[in-house]
Amino acid sequence: MSLSFSSQVNSCRLLRENKILRSFRASTSRESRLVGTKAYVETSVVFAVTQQAVAYAVVLGAETAYTRSQLTEMNKGRPEILPAAAGAGSTIASSIMVATGAGPIITAGLITGLLSATAMMGYNIKRTIDTTDEDIAPDWPGPKAWPATMTLISFFAFNVFFQGLRAEL
């Protein structure tokens, strides 16, 4: 049984491609055993997390300064400097760790930012509950608007660090 010239050429080409494919599979399986993969965070993720974390820290500090000037010392919902400074400082520290670190440093920075945003969310929820209407005229939106807004912004910061951690893992 004789094959035409074109079918012989096709058979040879298929055999050669099959041999190349088997050799490629063998080499990649050996290489995957020899070379370990390392997790990394893409540059765009690092920039996004750092930029949003710095913006969050600035807003946190500005809101603290503004609301402290508007509420009297007797109001329980008045922001305290120490928790707000700790939240802003730990957020800045975590963004520095994310921007300049590698590997476990980035992971530690993302976890630090996640914990900081969670703590500030809880703190702002407490402030929202504790704020009374007696110190400021009951105009819309009322004195609870700033701590409630900061709770929402803290949730967004939490989400930024959470998504960065997901991208890293």
Q: Residue 11: which pLDDT band, with cuts at 50, 70 and 90?
A: low
Per residue in 105-154, pLDDT (tens digit) is 888 999 999 999 999 999 999 988 888 766 555 665 677 888 899 999 99
Q: Does this model's pTM top 0.75?
A: no
Indicate whether 79 pLDDT > 50.
yes
> Measured at the alpha carbon of residue 60, what is the angle toward residues 54 and 63, in degrees to the nearest 5?
140
Q: Residue 37: which pLDDT band, with cuts at 50, 70 and 90?
A: very low
Indicate whether 38 pLDDT > 60.
no
Pick the CATH number of 43-168 from 1.20.120, 3.40.1350, 2.40.10, 1.10.3470: 1.20.120
132: left (phi over 0), alpha (psi -120 to 50) or beta: beta
Q: Residue 45: which pLDDT band, with cuts at 50, 70 and 90?
A: confident
Distance from C-alpha of 169 to C-alpha of 162, rounded to nearest angstrom:
11
**pLDDT, greater one: 73 or 156:** 156
Query: Percent of the chain having pLDDT more than 70?
Result: 70
